[in-house]
Amino acid sequence: MALKNKAVGAHFLIEETEKSSLVTPEDFSDEQRMFAETTRSFIEKEVVPKDEAIESLDYGLTVNLIRKAGELGLVAADVPEAYGGLGADKVSSTLITESLAKGSSFSLSVSAHSGIGTLPIVFFGNDAQKKKYLPDLASGTKIAAYCLTEPSSGSDALSAKTTAKRSKDGKYYILNGEKQFITNAGFADIFIVYAKIEGKDFTTFIVERTMEGVSLGPEEKKMGIKGSSTRPVILENVKVPAGNLLGEAGKGHVIAFNILNIGRFKLAAGVLGSAKEAIRLSATFANERTQFKKLISSFPLIRRKLADMNVRTYTLESMVYRTSGLIDGALKDLDYSSSDIGWQSAKGIAEYAIECSINKVFGSETLDFVADEGLQIHGGYGFTKDYKIERIYRDSRINRIFEGTNEINRLVVMSTLQKKAVKGELPLLEKANTLKDEIEDLLENRPTDGFLKQETYLVSAAKKLFLLVLGLAYRKYGLNLQKEQQLLSHLSDLVIQIYAMESVLLRTMKRLEKLGSEKAENGLDMMRLAIFEGFDKTESLVKEALAHLEEGEALIRRLASVQKIAYRLPIDAIRLKGRIGMRVAEASRYIV
Amino acid sequence: MKIWVCIKQTFDTEEKIVIENGKVDEKDAEFIINPYDEYAIEEALQLRDELGGEVTVITVGPDRAENALRTALAMGADKAALIQDPSLVGDECVLARMLAEAIRREGFDLILGGNFAVDSGSGQVAIRLAEELDIPHIGSVTGLNVNGRQAIAKRDAEGDTEAVESTLPVLITAQQGLNEPRYPSLPGIMRAKRKPLERLSAQDLGLSDSLKTKTLIIEEYLPPEKEAGKILEGDLDQQVQELVEALCGKGLSFN
């Protein structure tokens, strides 16, 4: 299919991706590496030494550091040059987000400001709004916060109770309501607020801190990210000028969902940075801690942990930068002189809503895993506040909750997929019809041996198995499938595993071609593990789904067919993990 | 004012040094601007912003050294020059001659460099350059003031501070404490791409291969691995006794 010139989200499910089209960290330009270097140096020298004060919620310090970050351009990447930003590509802004991660709570404050706080105006503001707000936001002289959640509306965001009433002369909207869990609330100057006009039209407003009637509730006493401000924002008869209505009345949901797409993707970039930091801390600790007269980094079980942490992080890294490249691809051919370029850009990113959710779920669960194993390596010390791994463990937990819980994101993957199929953007039904033949083809051409052949086969096989289960699920439930959350979650997990396995496969093959087999060896070891473990999960999800969808003879026939497709000679994971773990221990950090 | 900064790209200070086939292995190593040279760049930028003029960064090195120059341009330098010629791989004497040629042709008021490079640690190139250009130099500077054609530099002198006055042109080498080098900002990095970077060969500089190096590296090796330490125990007399025995056992004598 010739789809090269068109952005096509989720197409990885039904066709093969050419490895040359993939963006990987090995493709970073010198300029992008320098962006990352400046970001890391800033965090290392300016933020890390003040960690304790930031964690005690010193607003003044955080605001000062955001200003300093602003002077370096660290919060300006996504703002167009015409409004004082850098207008950088998404690969660059992703790399900046990743490189900020070591700053823990501070990084969260920065990302909330430059991401969900600033981007609504970047994408949906009119020229006047952009001119008025963006230069200050891009330089960090003003700080933004995003106000969607309310006490009674979390995942069900559109049920918000905050209201906006148009004044008689049409010059103002009067906002009333309470927003909850608002990141940066304590020191933000600009609030992006969602409210319903006359109680029905969900709409976005730019509210300034200094407007009369804006007040804050107390700081939440949080489990983690304690150095970030999280407070309720209370709106009592706030007169917001009509010119501060963002986008169009009644189109707030478009803004909310588009911003969430980007927020989810940026979250994945951030947790990638944190996962690397957790590996560095844990490998360093293992290289200093002696038990039984040996460094614990020499023990196979510790090395296995380091290997597992490193492999998952490598997989996530491959997914994150692949996605950033896809988004850049969707944005590069747009007409940047057009007045609705913001809307077009948001649409370009929305094309990859499924990939954004995949990254969010896989990323947050990867960091949880890495933080947990990292703490385990630290033993009793990891359970004390003297070691930073304890912080990372606590800070990690929120990532599975905000920007849409992982449960909501799993449902989003499938509902978006369904919409794409219905609109004819993704020929899923057509594929389901030819699936039988394709599976026969696949089995006929199944490689018996050969370098990377088995891994490539397994990724293709996973796609066929997904389509098989999806087809059966539709046959049984039709449009009622959307109520079958357990099944949808399984299907979504299959989609996530496919994207993970394929990203790691393609990146590794690209590295091999570029660097040769000696330098690519660690990547190859990691790829094999990632694919075999990913396929184990795939097979188990498929079987559980089939056991629900079929019964009796039919089930036995289906399982036999799955068995045939999924047959594989296991790899020696114990040996591979020993090798990878040894390399991580030697390097004392995440390595590819 | 024409300000030059001589820099060197060196191994990242966190890099592990590996010897392979009798040479330091550069494969996969990360490179940075020599930390002392960063002070020199920062000082040059501050002086330019205060007094006007332009800052040119210059280095002698392989292709990869361009990254160090780009970083300096991203910090705010105006121009860069990379002297590169396989026929002129050389010692401090040769490096100083090449730099002198390049700088003399363009003219200069102030030349800055690092106190020494963290890799070879010779601390010679900048001083030899001053000699080649027949100008005074002030080494290991921790504070610098330029007023018209007069420069007053503070330098470390065995724990005290010495103030040295000179007229321009003068060469200054930067010591830690001179300033706090800035990070290259993101907009600075984007602008750096468009700033001029000149590549110069021996021929461009009018230097022939008669400029041979005068020293030879015979061998490269790592320092011997540190042996495990020992904590002396017992009362003071016992400790002294044990120490004396240990020292004598190592072949030391006290006569």
Residue A591, chain B, CB below 8 Å: the answer is: no
Domains assigned to chain B: 2-200 (3.40.50.620)
Q: Is B116 helix (H, G, I), strand (E, B) or coil?
A: coil
Chain B, 119-158: which have a CB under 8 Å from a chain A CB?
none
Residue A354, Cβ neighbours under 10 Å: how many? Answer: 28
Nearest CA distance, B121 vs chain A (angstrom): 25
What is the SS3 string spanning A70-106?
HHCCCCCCCCCHHHCCCCCCHHHHHHHHHHHHHHHHH
Residue A4: what pLDDT? 45
The ranges assigned to domains in chain A are 2-142, 146-246, 252-406, 415-587
Burial label for A57, CB within 10 Å (0-12, 13-18, 19+), is middle
Contact check, Cβ <8 Å, B186/A30: no
Q: Which of A137-141, A407-411, B8-12, B213-217 has the lowest mean pLDDT?
A: B213-217
Contact A200, A155 (CB under 8 A): no
Residue A440's φ and ψ, nearest 5 degrees, are -60, -45
> What string of DSSP letters covers A451-511?
TTHHHHHHHHHHHHHHHHHHHHHHHHHGGGGGG-HHHHHHHHHHHHHHHHHHHHHHHHHHH
Residue spans of chain A under pLDDT 50:
1-5
| pTM for the model | 0.91
> What string of DSSP letters covers A348-369?
HHHTTHHHHHHHHHHHHHHHHH
Integer Rg of chain A from CA: 24
Q: Tell me whether the CATH fold assigned to A2-142 matches the one assigned to A252-406.
A: no
Residue A42, chain B, CB below 8 Å: the answer is: yes
Mean confidence (pLDDT) of chain B: 90
What's the rounded Cα separation, in Å, for the pair A12 and A116?
A: 27
Cβ-based neighbours of B124, under 8 Å, separated by 6 or more: B92, B96
Chain A CB contacts of B186 under 8 Å are 35, 38, 72-74, 76-77, 86, 88, 96
What's the rounded Cα separation, in Å, for the pair A230 and A401?
A: 14
Q: What is the residue whose two structure tokens read 């999800």?
A: A541
- Tell which CATH classification among 3.40.50.300, 3.30.413.10, 1.20.140.10, 1.10.3720.10 matches the domain A252-406: 1.20.140.10
Residue B233: what pLDDT? 85
Give the mean model confidence (pLDDT) for residues B125-146: 95
Question: How does pLDDT run across B47-98, given as a tens digit for each residue?
Answer: 999 999 999 999 999 999 999 999 999 999 999 999 987 766 678 888 999 9
As a CATH number, domain A2-142 is 1.10.540.10
Fold classification of A415-587 is Butyryl-CoA Dehydrogenase, subunit A; domain 3 (1.20.140)
pLDDT: which is higher, B213 or B190? B190
CATH 3.40.50.300 corresponds to the domain A146-246: no
What's the rounded Cα separation, in Å, for the pair B129 and B114?
A: 13
Active site residues per annotation of A: 403
Chain A CB contacts of B184 under 8 Å are 34, 37-38
Question: How does pLDDT run across B13-55, given as a tens digit for each residue?
Answer: 887 888 888 888 887 788 999 999 999 999 999 999 999 999 9
Residue A3: what pLDDT? 41
